[in-house]
Amino acid sequence: MENNASNFIKTIIKDDLETGKHDHIITRFPPEPNGYLHIGHAKSIILNFGVADDFNGKTNLRFDDTNPLKEDIEYVNSIKEDVKWLGYDWDNLFFASDYFDEMFKRAVLLINKGLAYVDDLNAEQIREYRGTLTEPGKDSPYRNRTVEENLDLFERMRNGEFENGTKVLRAKIDMSSPNINLRDPVIYRISHTEHHNTGNKWCIYPMYAFAHPIEDAIEGVTHSICTLEFEDQRPLYDWIVENCEMDSKPQQYEFGRLNLTNTVMSKRKLKQLVDEGFVDGWDDPRMPTISGLRRRGYTPEAIRAFCQEIGVAKTSGVVDSQMLDHFVREDLKLKAPRTMAVLNPLKVVITNYPEGEVEWLDAEVNPEVPEMGMRKIPFSREIYIEQDDFMENPPKKYFRLFPGNEVRLKHAYFIKCEEVIKDDNGNVIELRCTYDVETKSGSGFTGRKVKGTLHWVEASQAISAEFRNYQPLILDTAAEDEEEKTFLERVNPESIEVLQGFVEPNMKDVQPQDKFQFFRHGYYNVDSKLTKSEHLVFNQIVGLKSSFKM
Which of 14, 32, 102, 309 is catalytic? The answer is 32
Residue type, 492: N
Asked whether the beta carbons of 417 and 401 are under 8 A apart, the reply is yes
Contacts for 416-425: CB closer than 8 Å, 24+ residues apart:
417/390, 418/351, 420/392
Angle, CA 387 vertex, CA 384 and CA 393 arms, to 5°: 125
Q: How many CB atoms lie within 10 A of CB 242?
A: 11
Of the residues 143, 257, 271, 416, which is catalytic?
257
Q: DSSP code of 475? A: S
Asked if residues 546 and 322 have their Cβ atoms less than 8 Å apart, the reply is yes
Instruction: Determine whether 145 is an active site residue.
Output: no
Given a contact cutoff of 8 angstroms between Cβ atoms, the answer to whether 311 and 319 are in contact is no
State yes or no: is 215 an active-site residue.
no
DSSP string, 48-82: HHHHHHHTT-EEEEEE----TTT--HHHHHHHHHH
Three-state DSSP class for 323? Answer: helix
Q: C-alpha distances in angstroms, 294 versus 1, 149, 277, 282? A: 20, 54, 20, 11
Annotation marks residue 21 as catalytic:
no
Cα(258)–Cα(241) distance, rounded to whole angstroms? 28
* Helix/strand/coil for 473: coil
Query: Mapping DSSP to helix (H, G, I), strand (E, B) and coil, where does residue 41 land?
Result: helix
Burial 243-281 (b: 16+ CB within 10 A, else e): bbebeeebbbbbbbbbbbebbbbebebbeebbeeebbee
Catalytic pick among 183, 189, 234, 267: 267
- What is the β-pairing status of strands 515-518 and 522-526? antiparallel
The answer to whether 263 and 474 are in contact (CB under 8 A) is yes
Q: What are phi and psi for residue 501, nearest 5 degrees?
A: -150, -145
Say if residues 218 and 102 touch (Cβ distance below 8 Å): yes
For residue 337, the 8-state DSSP code is: P
Q: Which residue, 523, 549, 538, 480, is CA-closest to 262?
A: 480
E-strand ranges in 88-238 read 92-95, 116-119, 168-171, 186-190, 204-206, 223-227
Are the CB atoms for 507 and 538 separated by under 8 Å?
no
* Residues 253 and 237 sit within 8 Å (Cβ to Cβ): no
Catalytic amino acids? Answer: 32, 257, 267
